[in-house]
Amino acid sequence: MRRSVLVLSFTLAAAVTTAQEHPWTARFQAGRSTIPEWGERGAWGEARIGQSFVGGMLSADLGLAVSSLDGGYGSLTAGLEVLPFPRRVVSPFARAEVGLLGAPEPVGYLAAVGGGLAVRLSDGLSLRGGATWGTSNGYVEGPVVYYGGLELRW
């Protein structure tokens, strides 16, 4: 029993130390965006900046995304992400975002949920891949985004 408690304590302390050493994150991702109802697809790209908490298992971020879908659109969102195993080489993640959606003029709001895998290459660099499903203004299903990219931590 004591050995298990000691191992658990050491594991949690290591996760907290990593988050304290590298609390800031920047993500650069690219992929494809689709609105299933319309059958349209387009290129998609995003840049996000955030901060990690709770030993790296939780992060909050802000991001700006653009897409060529439907003549082009952009979004500014705030996100919350859960990375249950921040010290492992491969960890799943789940995220949710809400924000503003705009085309040439303001369109409304966007809410999305998604997830994927993060592959840690070093303490300061990860590869990520995943998908999100969103709804805009509560009645248009989409965009659905499939993406991959880099995460930098410092």
Domain boundaries of the chain, sorted by first residue = 2-153
Q: Which CATH number fits domain 2-153: 3.90.226.10, 2.40.160.20, 1.20.1290.10, 2.130.10.10?
A: 2.40.160.20
Q: Residue 20, SS3?
A: helix
Q: How far is residue 87's CA from residue 152's CA, in Å, rounded to a whole number?
A: 15
What's the pLDDT tens digit per position in 57-102?
Answer: 999 999 999 999 878 889 999 999 999 999 999 999 999 999 998 8
CB 80 within 8 A of CB 58: yes
Calculate the dihedral angle through the C-alpha atoms of 132, 95, 97, 36, rounding to the nearest 10 degrees. Answer: 10
Between 138 and 150, whose confidence is greater?
150
